[in-house]
Structures are given as structure tokens and as C-alpha cells.
């Protein structure tokens, strides 16, 4: 299914989008990737949604990526005798391991690992940062705090600890079970929550065992500080701005977003910008102007994908939310300023571009395509690496990724500008050109009068062997005459 835009759209499924009819509508409206939020729904419900997505994929003949988003450890306070208490600024409040019901003076925080890491001066944020506590003194069983920002604290509200690296694994017992389910179903991407360091990613990769690509969610200050190592360990990145905006001053998030997107592009790894992109569309058929500008900003930055969360999972207008993102993307990418920004930003990828043959081939393909009125770049790929390198170049023409591996085609549905097509294996470059021309013609990227650039690796079906480039005419004889001579 051809998209008339480069950026990809990720749509989260939920109660508002859990049947065949709606999931198909979302894909036809523009959703390239479906996110399964493992925080909600039973294993049976997750498996049913996965099955429906694959049915839509088969019916429409369009590779669809499925992203399973793990919940991660959830840190919460205990319960209060009165259900809630109002904490005033300047008051003293104690957090401890005592499971007795909470009062105006204290509450249980049943996470000894937090007390093991806390130091005087550290901050704790409760209820998405609405309440801010500063640690005055602490030991391995309690922390005496001053209320810096007051408010109502109630049963089992979430706690964030932005100032320290917690001795917690990114995967809880629930996450391990959810991960195994997702991999057994055959999802394409696993999103890892609560990443603090590269070690968290490597531990997840050991469990995944290559059955899916691993995407790290950047939602903690420690992950921002260790981003280069985390990026190296990951196949992709999600900039999870919601939690980042809780644990960091909100004004820090936009520049962090820009830096992380740039670094992901340089490393040729997909990056999703997520959280609150069209939040008002949960209840309204129209977004705010500020939300549209936020979506546009991510597109101007060259992010691979933009994501809908509750808008498509639980909102009243899931299809309209996807269409809105699609419309904004088309409008932005039709703007000359967008082309100028993307072209200018390529210089930022140069330091990590590499010096191998494959890097040179994809750079040359982009140069030729943009200077010789080429209609598309077609690349043959086994693992998707060639397509990812081509995507990093951010060419203004479409990228047609031909692969005999359906799992590779599905993963590439997340990558900027890439149209993945599952095709038969080829063993000669001439047949690769024929297949590329057929795909370009059948998908409407080129006519008989046009040319495309074809890249491939000889010998075929060998990972990382991209070493050949050809400018091919899209003539009828190439489609029907497949004689090797």
C-alpha cells in the first residue's frame, strides 16, 4: 500500500480499535505500525489483536509492523487509611517500608531498591510529578522528605525517581512473560520500558534471541546521559516524552528530542517520537493548532515515525486521528522548507556515515536519484541493513526495499521513506533489476518513460554485501524479457 509521505505512523490499539473493521480502517487511513500496549489487556486479547493485524496484512497485501510495548517496573506508593491526603508545601512527609495504611505524615513505598539508591537531596515525584518531595535524610528502610510541591496524594499513585539510577532490571516478571508471548506470536519490534543503561537492553536481547528487533524507550534522565551506549545496543529508539517531561524540566525535552533524533539518524536506526501528539483528539474530532505544530516539528526533524497512543487506543476518533497525522505529514513534506531542512541536516549524519562500500553505494544512489530525475531507489536486502542505510540518507525519492524475508519487510515498515515489498529470491543481478522495475511500475512509482536506481549485493543472499548500483529504465522489455542473455 503506497504512502504519499516519508514519515511513518504508529497507532496504538485498544478498546476503541480492537476489531477487524477498525484496524483495517486505521491501516488504510495511514497507520504503518500497530502498537500493542502490554500494560493493558490479557494475553488472549493481545493474541487476538495480533491475529487480526496479520489478517489485515494478508487481505491488503501490505507488510505491517507490530510493536509490542512492555510495561516495565511500576513504582507506586501504598494505600492511605483515608484513601488520600493533602500535602502542603513545606510539610514533612516520610516514605518507608511499613505496610501500615498511610496518614498525613507517611505512607508505605514498597520498593527497598529505591531506598538503597536514595541520597539526601534527591527528589521523588508522585502522581506524574504533581507532587515533588526532596529527601532530607534516608536509610535502607525509609526516607524523610520535605514537600516541595504540594497536592493530593492518594492510593497507589506512581513514583518517579529522576536523580538516581535505580538497581532495578528493566524487565519485571510480568514483562518477561509478556516478552515471551510477543516473541512467540511473531511481533516485529519489542519496545523496552524503564531503560536506564545499555545493560538493560543487552539483558532483553538475550531473552529475545533475535526473534524481534529491540527498541529502547528513552524516558529517564539516566537514559539520556547514557544514550550513545543505549543506541549502540538497540535496533531502534522511542523518545517517550511523557515520562521525560515528568522526570526532567519540561523545557529540556524539545532540545533532547532534537539531539536524539539526529543521533538515531546518524546511526541509521529508526526513531519514534511519541506521547501526547494529538492528545485533544481523544475527545475531539479536531486537534489543537499546537498539537499540529508538534507533529510537524517531529517531521521537520526527520523522525522515522510519529505515534498515537490513547488517541487511537481509547479515543472517540481513532480513524480521524490517523488521517490527521497523514494529512499533516503530506502537507509538511510538500513544503520546500521541509526539503531544505532535511537536506541541510544530512551534514549531521556524516561523522557516523562510515567508509565501507555499502555506505558509498547508498550515498551515490541518493546523489544520482536527486540529480538525474530518478523516480525511486530500489534496494535488495536480506536483513534490512541496506534499506536502513538508504533511509539514513533521507532521499527525496521513495525507497523500495525488496526482500525475500517477510520478517524483514515487516520491520522496515517503521523506517522513513521505505516501501517494503516481500518478493521472491533472485540469484542474478539482471533478475534483481527486472524485479525492481516490476515493483516500481506495479506500485505506481514509475512509468515506462522513467528510470530507477537499483542497488544490490553480489553474490546474492549474503548479508552486508551491497556492492553494485545501476540506473535502470522502466521499459516494457525489462518486465517481460527475462532471458539472461
Phi and psi at residue 354, in whole multiples of 5°? 90, 165
Residues 388, 415 contacting (CB under 8 angstroms):
yes
Query: Average of pLDDT values for 449-455?
Result: 95
Catalytic residue at 275?
A: yes
Kindly name the residue from 3, 5, 263, 275 that is annotated as catalytic: 275
Q: Could you report the per-residue pLDDT of 42-100, keeping only the tens digit for each?
A: 999 999 999 999 999 999 999 999 999 999 998 999 999 999 999 999 999 999 999 99
| Residue 64: all three cell numbers together | 505491517
User: Which residues on neighbouring strands pair with residue 399, listed in sequence order?
Assistant: 377, 418
Catalytic residue at 76?
A: yes
- What is the reported pLDDT for 465? 73
CA–CA dist 57, 186 (Å, integer): 14
pTM of this structure: 0.93
Q: Could you report the per-residue pLDDT of 108-121, keeping only the tens digit for each?
A: 999 999 999 999 99
- What is the reported pLDDT for 427? 81
**Is pLDDT of 479 > 70?**
no
| Residue 25: all three cell numbers together | 480502517
The pLDDT mean for the chain works out to: 93
Kindly name the residue from 76, 353, 428, 470 that is annotated as catalytic: 76
Query: Average of pLDDT values for 384-388?
Result: 94
Residues 175, 70 contacting (CB under 8 angstroms):
yes
CB burial of residue 204 (10 Å; 0-12, 13-18, 19+): buried
Question: Buried b / exposed e across 103-115, counting CB within 10 Å, b at 16+?
Answer: eeebbbbebeebb
- Domains within the chain, CATH numbers bracketed: 8-72+170-335 (3.20.20.60), 84-160 (2.40.33.10), 353-480 (3.40.1380.20)
Cα distances from 247 to residues 243, 278, 379, in angstroms, run 6, 22, 42
Catalytic residue at 217?
A: yes
pLDDT classification of 365: cutoffs 50, 70, 90: very high
Kindly name the residue from 8, 24, 35, 205 that is annotated as catalytic: 35
Kindly name the residue from 24, 49, 132, 217 that is annotated as catalytic: 217
Q: What size, in residues, is the chain?
A: 485
Query: Does residue 398 sit in helix, strand or coil?
Result: coil
- What is the reported pLDDT for 345? 86
Amino acid at each position: 500500500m503506497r504512502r504519499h509521505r516519508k514519515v511513518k505512523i504508529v497507532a496504538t490499539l485498544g478498546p476503541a480499535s480492537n476489531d477487524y473493521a477498525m484496524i483495517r480502517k486505521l491501516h488504510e487511513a495511514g497507520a504503518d505500525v500497530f502498537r500493542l500496549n502490554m500494560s493493558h489487556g490479557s494475553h488472549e486479547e493481545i493474541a487476538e489483536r495480533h491475529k487480526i493485524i496479520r489478517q489485515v496484512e494478508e487481505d491488503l497485501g501490505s507488510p505491517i509492523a507490530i510493536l509490542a510495548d512492555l510495561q516495565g517496573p511500576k513504582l507506586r506508593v501504598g494505600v492511605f487509611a483515608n484513601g488520600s491526603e493533602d500535602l502542603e508545601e513545606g510539610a514533612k512527609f516520610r516514605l518507608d517500608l511499613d505496610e501500615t495504611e498511610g496518614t498525613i505524615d507517611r505512607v508505605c513505598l514498597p520498593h527497598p531498591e529505591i531506598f538503597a539508591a536514595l541520597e539526601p537531596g534527591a527528589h521523588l515525584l508522585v502522581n506524574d510529578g504533581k507532587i515533588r518531595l526532596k529527601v532530607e535524610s534516608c536509610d535502607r528502610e525509609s526516607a524523610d522528605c520535605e514537600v516541595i510541591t504540594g497536592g493530593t496524594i492518594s492510593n497507589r499513585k506512581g513514583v518517579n525517581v529522576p536523580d538516581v539510577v535505580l538497581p532495578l532490571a528493566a524487565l519485571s516478571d510480568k514483562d518477561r512473560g509478556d516478552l515471551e508471548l510477543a516473541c512467540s506470536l511473531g511481533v516485529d519490534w519489542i519496545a523496552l520500558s524503564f531503560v536506564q543503561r545499555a545493560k538493560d537492553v543487552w539483558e532483553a536481547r538475550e531473552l529475545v534471541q533475535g526473534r524481534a528487533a529491540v527498541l529502547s524507550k528513552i524516558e529517564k534522565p539516566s537514559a539520556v546521559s547514557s544514550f550513545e551506549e543505549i543506541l549502540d545496543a538497540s535496533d531502534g529508539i522511542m523518545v517517550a516524552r511523557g515520562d521525560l517531561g515528568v522526570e526532567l524540566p519540561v523545557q529540556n525535552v524539545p532540545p533532547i528530542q532534537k539531539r536524539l533524533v539526529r543521533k538515531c539518524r546518524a546511526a541509521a536506526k529508526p526513531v519514534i517520537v511519541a506521547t501526547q501528539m494529538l492528545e485533544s483528539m481523544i475527545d475531539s474530532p479536531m486537534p489543537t493548532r499546537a498539537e499540529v505544530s508538534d507533529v510537524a516539528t517531529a517531521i521537520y526533524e526527520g523522525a522515522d515515525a510519529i505515534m498515537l497512543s490513547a488517541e487511537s487506543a481509547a479515543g472517540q476518533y481513532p480513524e480521524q486521528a490517523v488521517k490527521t497525522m497523514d494529512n499533516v505529514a503530506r502537507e509538511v513534506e510538500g513544503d520546500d522548507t521541509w526539503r531544505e531542512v532535511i537536506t541541510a541536516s544530512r551534514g549531521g549524519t556524516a561523522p557516523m556515515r562510515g567508509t565501507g562500500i555499502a555506505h558509498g553505494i547508498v550515498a551515490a544512489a541518493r546523489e544520482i536519484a536527486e540529480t538525474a530525475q530518478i523516480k525511486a531507489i530500489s534496494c535488495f536486502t536480506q536483513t534490512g541493513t541496506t534499506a536502513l542505510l538508504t533511509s539514513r540518507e533521507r532521499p527525496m525519492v521513495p525507497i523500495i526495499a525488496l526482500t525475500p524475508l517477510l520478517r524483514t519487510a515487516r520491520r522496515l515498515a517503521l523506517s522513513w521513506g521505505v516501501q517494503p515489498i516481500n518478493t521472491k529470491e533472485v540469484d542474478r543481478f539482471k533478475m534483481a533489476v527486472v524485479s525492481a522495475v516490476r515493483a516500481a511500475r506495479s506500485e505506481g512509482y514509475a512509468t515506462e518513460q522513467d528510470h530507477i536506481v537499483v542497488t544490490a549485493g553480489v553474490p546474492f543472499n549474503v548479508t552486508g554485501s551491497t556492492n553494485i548500483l545501476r540506473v535502470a529504465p522502466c521499459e516494457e522489455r525489462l518486465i517481460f524479457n527475462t532471458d539472461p542473455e
